[in-house]
Structure 1
Amino acid sequence: MAQLGRRGFLAGVGAAALVVGVGTVPAAAGATDRWGARNSANGWPIRSKGITEVRVEGSAAVMTVLGGDVAALLGHVARRFHYEIAELGPGDIQGHTADRRVAAPLESNYLSGTAIALLPTRFPLGATGGLFPHEIAVLRDILADCSATIRWGGDDPVTPKEGHFELDATPAAAAKAARTLAAAGAIPDPFVPTRRSRALALERHQRRR
């Protein structure tokens, strides 16, 4: 069976890409509230300690997130996004914040340092259609790389945020996934059929939740 490379994949989705690039934003996306819980929406404790600034490999972008395994996983997401989807520069990553005002539950995860928003002005809360099909395919492969420990904000059924990525795992699972990343090596081809199958299986699982 012939492998489906990037060029073949792009040819298959080219027509669809023409209509996906124009996003829409629900009117309710601008409403804000104050997050009063001790944990962020993904269950991690809200904190001010243990936060670190991490430079994204190969770019001038930096992100402020919880250190250790969380930084390794979110750093992997940002690195591959930079190389394979859109370049990241200074100010292009929203990370940890102490501001408890949120417009959707997923934004509370910035308070625990376990989420990032890439290119937040390009991908505002509530907007959809900001990524082309081949870019979403790469994104799904990145999530599979992280062993199902990262969720994509674009899958939120109520208030999607396409530049948002958050931890969706226990500390033990995050540690295991980070060790796997450390042994992974170079960036793979996300359009190899075996990788595509794994990424699509994870998509089905995460979208059902």
Structure 2
Amino acid sequence: MTSELSRRGVLRRTALVAAGVALGSPLLSAPAAAATDPDKLRAAVRAAQERNKRQLTGVSSTNGWEMERNPGARGHIYTRPVPGTPVRGVQVRMGDVETILVHAVRRFHYEIDELRPDDLTGWRSPSTVRKGLPESNLASGTAVQIRPGHYPSGTKGGYFPNQLTTIESILTDCDGVLAWGGHDKHSDESLFYLAAGPDDPRVTVTAQKLRTWNWNSPL
């Protein structure tokens, strides 16, 4: 376990790596010429609609975010870094969701147990998740699983009391926007997921608070 001071310092020093996501929206990627040429604009709209058909499912995960068929492909889910950890990257929904989930993963790494490169799972195909359970949020890019092999779905008791205290602290950081699968009726102690929907303003407010913490923390 590391101290609060050292944890905040690492988060601040690594925050710049993740900050670039705000400018990465695929909605802004159409050529500027399409805005002035009606034919090009119609073609761009058709192309976007075709991409959506290939990428989007029209089905929401249990928290209300739309599940996607593939990461990347000009959707909302991409492989994102987890700064300050050996994790190679995690496929999550970019922007505010990413900020919240990565915050939870980094606190886990520094305060519960150090992660190895393959300890983290993000997006999973909609065909591989149970639609009626919070694990479906993986398919919308709004959840991660930390060491799912260590904390199998349906079991409890995988953490020591001091580790559970840290998990509660992580949830407190996120003001009710983040949930832990260990609290669910069907327990999944590896699962952390967004408990707020895409129209809930708390998502943006919480993500901005976490970014501010990272920048303003003492070294």
| Corresponding residue number in structure 1 for 2:207 | 178
The 5 A counterparts of 1:45-64 are 45-47=66-68, 48=70, 49-61=75-87, 62-64=89-91
Letter in 2 for 1:168: A
| Corresponding residue number in structure 2 for 1:134 | 162
Say yes or no: does 1:151 pair with 2:172. no
The ranges of structure 1 where at least 4 consecutive aligned residues each deviate by more than 4 angstroms after the TM superposition are none
Say yes or no: does 1:111 pair with 2:139. yes
Query: Can you give the 5+ residue segments of structure 1 that lack an aligned partner in the other structure?
Result: 7-35, 189-209
Q: Secondary structure at the match of 2:213?
A: coil
Tell me, in whole angstroms, the C-alpha distance in 1 between the residues paired with 2:193 and 2:111. 19
Is contact 2:76-2:94 (8 Å) kept?
yes
Tell me, in whole angstroms, the C-alpha distance in 2 between the residues paired with 1:52 and 1:147. 25
Q: Sequence identity, in percent?
A: 36
Q: TM-score, normalised by structure 1?
A: 0.68
Letter in 1 for 2:82: V
| Corresponding residue number in structure 2 for 1:98 | 125
Say yes or no: does 1:44 pair with 2:65. yes
Count of residues in correspondence between the two structures: 154
Of stretches 133-142 and 48-57 in structure 1, the one that deviates more from structure 2 is 48-57
Tell me, in whole angstroms, the C-alpha distance in 2 between the residues paired with 1:53 and 1:40. 19
Tell me, in whole angstroms, the C-alpha distance in 2 between the residues paired with 1:66 and 1:181. 17
| Corresponding residue number in structure 2 for 1:71 | 98
Tell me, in whole angstroms, the C-alpha distance in 2 between the residues paired with 1:148 and 1:52. 25
The Cα shift of 1:169 comes to: 1.2
Letter in 2 for 1:52: Y
Q: Report the structure, 1 or 2, having the larger helix content.
A: 2
Tell me, in whole angstroms, the C-alpha distance in 2 between the residues paired with 1:79 and 1:101. 26
Q: Secondary structure at the match of 2:67?
A: coil
| Corresponding residue number in structure 1 for 2:22 | none
The Cα shift of 1:53 comes to: 1.4
Tell me, in whole angstroms, the C-alpha distance in 2 between the residues paired with 1:111 and 1:51. 9
* Greater C-alpha radius of gyration: 2
| Corresponding residue number in structure 1 for 2:107 | 80
RMSD between superposed Cα atoms in Å: 2.3
The 5 A counterparts of 1:156-175 are 156-157=184-185, 159-171=186-198, 172-175=201-204
Query: Can you give the 5+ residue segments of structure 2 that lack an aligned partner in the other structure?
Result: 5-56
Q: Secondary structure at the match of 2:86?
A: coil
Is contact 1:59-1:88 (8 Å) kept?
yes
Tell me, in whole angstroms, the C-alpha distance in 1 between the residues paired with 2:91 and 2:66. 16
The Cα shift of 1:101 comes to: 2.7
The Cα shift of 1:90 comes to: 1.6
Tell me, in whole angstroms, the C-alpha distance in 2 between the residues paired with 1:55 and 1:121. 22
Is contact 1:80-1:187 (8 Å) kept?
no
Change (3 A) 1:79 1:187: farther
Letter in 1 for 2:187: P
Letter in 2 for 1:46: M
Letter in 1 for 2:104: V
